[in-house]
Each structure stands twice: as structure tokens, then as C-alpha cells.
A and B are shown apart, each in its own frame.
Chain A
Amino acid sequence: MKNKPNDLILQTVTTMISFIIILFSIHLFFAGHYTPGGGFIGGLMTAAALVLLLLAYDIKTLNTILPFNFRMMTAAGLLIAVLTGAGALLFNQPFLTHAYDYFELPLLGETSLHTAVLFDIGVYLVVIGVTMTIIQTIGESE
């Protein structure tokens, strides 16, 4: 028993539960504008799902399933946030000015699309990247 641990129950439940957690984190991310939620806790919850996968399997398996470089993800998130802020400069507006309008989307009907979502995507990616970098760095140091 000691040399070969049998994690069947944890692994089976993790494969089902992590999808629910990721779906809920995406819901929190998109709900952020009108209800509680947003990029920060959405990103933290996605990172929590990834940490659950890390607990049930190991770092190598997670790197095979999701071959992301989480440091690059942090950099990409910061870049998206800065570019969203700088985009306002193209329209002769102050830095970080956001705009929104109503659009007819094919499936969703009339939806208000806001550039703050792009900024939130940056926050989301930074939170996932930083959390996973911290956890993986602690986990790998023997």
C-alpha cells in the first residue's frame, strides 16, 4: 500500500469536479460587470481547479494535459491590460478610458459589450499565471 498509493476515488472525482469548478469560474468572470465576480476571483477559481488537478495527479501530468508556460501567461495578461488602456489613446481619450455599446450577436441577442472585459481578461490571466507559478515553484523545490 505504501509503495503504490491507490488514488482512484480522488482522481475520478477530480476529473468530474474540475470541469464544474472551471465552468463556475468562467461564469464568475463574465458575471463580474453586473453581479459579484470578476477577473480576480474567476482567475483564482480557475487556478484552484488546476491545483486540484495537481493534488490528484502530479506536476508532470498537469504539464502534459495543459502545456502552458504560466510565466508567459502572466506576461500576456499584463500586455493585454496595458494594450487595453493604451487603446483609448488612439481615439484621443485619456489612458484607461473604456467604451461600451450594444451589439446584436447571432446567438445571444442584444448584448452590451464593454472594453473593460478585455482588461478583466488581463487580470484573469495574471492571477492564474502568478498563482500557478507560486504553487509549481514551491512544489518542485525538494
Chain B
Amino acid sequence: MIDTSEYIIAAFILIGAFFGVVTAIGLIRLPDLYTRTHAASKSATLGVMSVLIGALLFFLTEEGLFNSRIVLGIFFVLITAPVGGHLIARAAYNSGVKLAPETVQDDLAKKEQYEAKKKKNSSRD
């Protein structure tokens, strides 16, 4: 007895597992911390959310119970995981972790000079 809902559930869980693997490969392959947090915070969030949606649909169709805690978990992961990535990357930049050698442009490095120049210009006006 395989109906369409089971295909949809399997698709969600396989997509989630695929994005988990993509995250792991990204963490190994990417050159520096900033690209790695990019991989970890984006695709891991999507992967976990897909697996949770699959679990929600599974319990909804098989057992007929709507588990609101899973919905809360999806919402929670959606909000907190990117913020975690942001905080890791910012803490790394503030403590002076080097960017990858392929980096073309680093605008934040010139922030101090830029703000000093802006202050000087505004005082002149």
C-alpha cells in the first residue's frame, strides 16, 4: 500500500538528507571559515527543515496526529541557525581570522578609515 503521500514524505526526507551531505562536503572542501559558515548555516538549515517537514507529514498521515512541536522546531531552526552562523563569522572576523587567499575584496577592513574620513567631512560642512 504505497500512495502519493508516502512519495512526498520520502522526497522531503531524502532532500533533507541530501542537504546534510552537501553541508558535510562543504565543510570539508571550502577554503576558509567564512565560506564554511556559509555552507553550514544555509544548507544545514534547509536540510533539517526538510527532514522535520517529512516527519510532520509522516505522523500526520500515518498516525493522524498533528505534532505542533515539530512546527515550532521548524520555525526555531529557521530563525536561529542563520543567526548562529552570523555570530560565528562575526566573532571570527573580530578576532582576526584570515580570509581565504582567493578573496578579492574586504570592505570591512577599510571601515575604520572610512568612518574617520566621514567624520572629518561632516565636521567640515
Tell me if B29 counts as interface (CB < 8 A to partner A): no
- Chain B interface extent, by class: 10 to 19
- Chain A interface extent, by class: 10 to 19
A17 close to B94 (CB less than 8 A): no
Contact of B72 among A2, A10, A24 (CB under 8 A): A24
Are A17 and B111 also in contact (CB < 8 A) when A2-B94, A9-B86, A24-B72 are? no
A1-B94, A9-B86 known; 17 other A-B pairs, CB under 8 Å? A1-B111, A1-B112, A2-B94, A9-B83, A9-B87, A10-B83, A13-B79, A13-B80, A13-B83, A16-B79, A17-B76, A17-B80, A20-B72, A20-B75, A20-B76, A24-B69, A24-B72
Among residues of B, the one whose C-beta sits closest to the C-beta of A24 is: B72
Residues in chain B within 8 A of chain A (CB atoms):
69, 72, 75-76, 79-80, 83, 86-87, 94, 111-112
Least CB distance, B27 to chain A, in whole angstroms: 23
What per-residue 1/0 map shows which CB atoms of A1-16 lie under 8 Å from chain B?
1100000011001001
B87 close to A10 (CB less than 8 A): yes
Docked Cα-Cα span, A2 to B112, in Å, equals: 11
Least CB distance, B94 to chain A, in whole angstroms: 7
Docked Cα-Cα span, A30 to B69, in Å, equals: 14
Docked Cα-Cα span, A9 to B79, in Å, equals: 11
Q: Which residues of A contact B69 (CB under 8 A)?
A: 24, 27
Q: Which residues of B contact A13 (CB under 8 A)?
A: 79-80, 83
Q: Which residues of B contact A9 (CB under 8 A)?
A: 83, 86-87
Among residues of B, the one whose C-beta sits closest to the C-beta of A5 is: B94
Docked Cα-Cα span, A9 to B86, in Å, equals: 9
